[in-house]
Amino acid sequence: MSHSETTGTTTATASAAAKLFDIRLLIGGLFTFYGVALTIYGFFTTPAELEKAAGININLWLGLGMLVLGLLFLLWRRLDPVVHVEPNPTDAPRHPGTH
């Protein structure tokens, strides 16, 4: 069994990319982009395509739904940003046997 002791420095350092990454931005951006694309495509739906979908303009409705969902993710990110707290070396947990 090996035992390694740490000094007063913390090993929990994160890269700048990890600090800035928020999955809500990626999800919101993709849903918003595809929502806009489907909504625009929904305006050019042919009568033959409407007939296949039982008279429902599915591209328009799904596009609007995806657009709303994407904007909600972006709004959520804006209203509740991720806050990264830097660890304080004096608050580091003490290991048994160290003073």
SS3 track for 57-96: CHHHHHHHHHHHHHHHHHHHHHHCCCCCCCCCHHHCCCCC
pLDDT digits (tens, 9 = 90+) for 40-72: 999 999 999 999 999 999 999 999 999 999 999
- Please indicate, yes or no, if residue 2 is contained in any of the structural domains: no
- Please indicate, yes or no, if residue 51 is contained in any of the structural domains: yes
Give how far Cα 45 sits from Cα of 12, 14, 48, 65, Å. Answer: 54, 49, 8, 17
pLDDT at residue 34, as a whole number: 97
Average pLDDT across the chain, whole number: 81
pLDDT surpassing 70 at residue 78: yes
Instruction: Report which of residues 57 and 94 the model is more confident about.
Output: 57
- Please indicate, yes or no, if residue 61 is contained in any of the structural domains: yes
Lowest mean pLDDT among 2-16, 42-56, 72-86: 2-16
Q: Which two tokens stand for residue 65?
A: 């739904």
- Please indicate, yes or no, if residue 5 is contained in any of the structural domains: no
Residues 6+ apart with CB under 8 A from 25: 73, 74, 77
pTM over 0.85: no
- Please indicate, yes or no, if residue 13 is contained in any of the structural domains: no
pLDDT surpassing 50 at residue 96: yes
The number of domains in the chain is: 1
- Please indicate, yes or no, if residue 91 is contained in any of the structural domains: no
